Amino acid sequence: MTSSFDAYHKWLGIPPEDQPAHHYRLLGVEPFESDPDVIVIAADGRMAQLKHFQTGKYSKLSQALLNEIAAAKVCLLNPEKREEYDDDLRQRLEEAKKPAVKAAPAGRKPDAQAAAGESETDDEAMPGAAAPQINPAGASSYVSRHSRKPGRPWLLPAAGAVVAVAVIVALVFALRDDNDNGTALQGDPPVGQGGNGLSNRPPKVKHSDPPNPDLPPDDAPPDDPGNGPPIDPDTVASAADPGRSLADLVDPMDPGNAPPDDGHPVPEEPSPGDPPVAERTAVPDAEAKKEAEGKVRVAFSEEFAAAKTPELKLELAETLLAESREPGNTTAVRFVLMQLACETAAEAGGLNEALAATAALEKQFAVNGRTIRGYVLDAVLKSLKKSRRSGTRDADALRAIAMTATAQAAAALAIDDLVTADVAAQVACEAASATKDKYFQIPIDWRAKEIASLKTYYGNRVKQAQEALATADNPAANLIVGEWNCFYKGQWQLGLPMLAKSEDADLADLAKADLTQPEDAKGRVRLGDKWFDVAKRKRGSKYVQSHVYERAKHWYELALAQLAGVTQKKPIENQLTVIAKELRELGPRVAGTVEQGNVALATNGTTVTGVKSHPEVLLDGNSTRFSGNEGFAISPWPSVWTITFKKQYQLQEIRFRFYDHVPRRFARYKIEVTEDGKKFDLLVDRSKGEWESWQVITFPARPVKSIRLHGLYNSMDSGFYVVEFEAYCTPPRTPPPPAVAPR
């Protein structure tokens, strides 16, 4: 089977049928949205989400998507370019409505996939996932072309408030059933004859229900973690009760499944692909579930008996979830398969797999996804603590779990589910701590402490104000809830109207001015200045200050895009530099000097050793001046180049560029860093795969004195060739220039 990791679907929730995605779909906004504020916030949110995956196995796909989103943002913020793009998009959408003449030839790669350079065989990717279709109009050409190797799916990072999907396994079962009670159909073929062609396997689960074409795909994650019936966040804690199973939580008679009025009604307009709760299948009754579970456990008795290790449990969970997709399973059997897949994966510590099963349940059945996610997070936390003692997890798997849990915490916080957010943050901390990488752990621990503080603040102050607003418009309550949404969560569009009606006259006036959405540079700079002043006054709350600084930054950046000439731009750029420094000070403390721009320059006192020929070009700041015989550093591989700074920097990003060549070549490498020049820690290992052109490695801020670049392989000859090496304390806003290979 050939397949590829579908980054659009897994990370952004864009299913294959919506690919390649147009700019608006890519940002998650309505087609032809013209409000620059909406566009900027959406783009920034997408980019923040994707940055979680920049250090994983799919880091280059992450960078390519970041480039594509940046290109979409630039296009849609320029009125002339947006108008031209909209005209073209309208024409494409109209053409798409016309019936297709014929299907594409079987086996042909999508054009966008080919443009991204993805190979047809992709062993490392999730089986059954669609190929990544990186839009060549948006992504630069330096997307990596990995050569894949088999890998466990739980090593794959998941993302944002939406977590992705299960692995589809090609397993089918034999007999069918004509009703939910398991009565065999007359004329069913004997085992091994007809049916689904599995000739040597004993009868599995019997089927009767016909496939339902109206059901959404199981692997499409819900856009909102709270898209099920709303419940009070405190009920999520019931998932942690000793002896409480997932079956208890999805029982229709369970009070935790009831949707009390908690001030968070189900949205009137569901997210695309998410059927309303009323259109989902009802949860089978207890008797039907019990009978179905008996059938499933008999059918998979060997697998359940053998699943003694986390790896085997995860394989079983994948198999159960795959079988739940098979047409013909009864409703009760399908439900139980998903439920057991979720339970088994969670017990094994497979956060991504368990959340995939949760998404499948939530898509098809009227269950409360928030409650189930609480159960999943608690079970994974217990599994992590157990496996940490036994040392059975590797660092890549732990980082993936930590990033997924962090995204879950953010999604829960966004809907005021502070209980789930707190549990998710604990999972992230446990996983990060087990990696033994303190600089990966620092920001996650810091964030967990913030969420614990926010949980207390919400319970003591905000919840009562929300309840007051539910009965009457109250200026004092508007101030509390408005500040909560804007200053604590960064949900400005939700909070600004409340601040505009608050009892703080100055803040109300500023909120009203912000809501006018000025389109001139002068008005935007004025708003940036005022929010900057508010941030300076909000001493004592780092969390609040950071969000207000971000609002000032938002308006400054919109203004900067309209200004021309150094005299106009320089003051705004200086303010943005000040904000960047303030935001760094408000975050977790990390040692090292912070300077703007590329600090890996010979003119900056940086040196390099180990290069056989032309070491001077590595640190000259020029990434485009190279030809057939000059403009690049070279050593026979394997080689070790050591880049040493004059002082210790607080770095967040490393970029370097391989020599682009026609015919194509690729390389392999790894990077180590040290904060004191003595002990080097592995930063990224790309000793497998196919890496070419620009390499962009983004990571949590850490002090760095020296960097080791290990040149491990070059597919064309014995030389390891690099055109330029760069290091940044503050990652640039723009991607590297497009790669053009000399001929």
- In order, the DSSP letters of 257-303 are GS----S-PPPSSPPTT---GGGSBPPPPHHHHHHHHHHHHHHTHHH
Higher pLDDT among residues 145 and 311, named by residue:
311
Q: Which of 258-267, 511-520, 594-603, 632-641 has the lowest mean pLDDT?
A: 258-267
The pLDDT assigned to 54 comes to 58
Give the Cα separation of 340 and 669 in Å (integer). 41
Distance of CA 349 to the CA centre of its chain: 19
Identity of the residue numbered 544 = V
Q: Both tokens of residue 516?
A: 């006018």
Mean pLDDT on 197-222: 37
For residue 364, the surrounding DSSP H or E stretch is helix 351-364
Distance of CA 354 to the CA centre of its chain: 16
The residues that bridge with 329 in the sheet, in sequence order, are: 207
Identity of the residue numbered 558 = L
The pLDDT assigned to 98 comes to 60
* pLDDT above 80 (res 481): yes
Residue 707 dihedral angles phi and psi, to the nearest 5°: -130, 135
Query: How many CB atoms neighbour CB 585 within 10 A?
Result: 12
* Length reported for the chain: 743
Looking at residue 458, what DSSP letter applies? I
Are 329 and 337 in contact by the 8 Å Cβ rule? The answer is yes
Are 211 and 328 in contact by the 8 Å Cβ rule? The answer is yes
* pLDDT above 50 (res 332): yes
Give the Cα separation of 405 and 408 in Å (integer). 5
Mean pLDDT on 326-351: 90
Torsion of the alpha carbons at 376, 377, 383 and 388, rounded to the nearest 10:
160
What are the Cα distances from residue 483, in Å, to 403, 535, 548, 554, 571?
A: 27, 13, 10, 18, 29
Reference 305, options 314, 297, 294; nearest CA is 297
SS3 137: coil
* pLDDT above 80 (res 50): no
Are 138 and 738 in contact by the 8 Å Cβ rule? The answer is no
Mean pLDDT on 348-362: 87
Sign of CA dihedral 223, 228, 232, 236: negative
* pLDDT above 60 (res 220): no
Give the Cα separation of 4 and 495 in Å (integer). 41
Mean pLDDT on 196-216: 37
Identity of the residue numbered 695 = Q
Are 703 and 591 in contact by the 8 Å Cβ rule? The answer is yes
Torsion of the alpha carbons at 10, 16, 20 and 26, rounded to the nearest 10:
-40
Per-residue pLDDT of 261-300, as tens digits, reads: 333 322 233 333 444 555 788 899 999 999 999 999 999 9
Reference 218, options 363, 13, 7, 9; nearest CA is 363
Confidence tier at 718 by pLDDT (50, 70, 90): very high
The pLDDT assigned to 127 comes to 27
Find the distance separating the first CA and the last CA of the chain, reported in whole Å. Answer: 35
The pLDDT assigned to 628 comes to 65
Domains of the chain: 7-151 (no CATH), 160-391 (no CATH), 483-586 (no CATH), 602-728 (2.60.120.260)
For residue 358, the surrounding DSSP H or E stretch is helix 351-364
Whole-number mean pLDDT of the chain?
74
The pLDDT assigned to 222 comes to 33
Mean pLDDT on 544-573: 89
Looking at residue 78, what DSSP letter applies? S
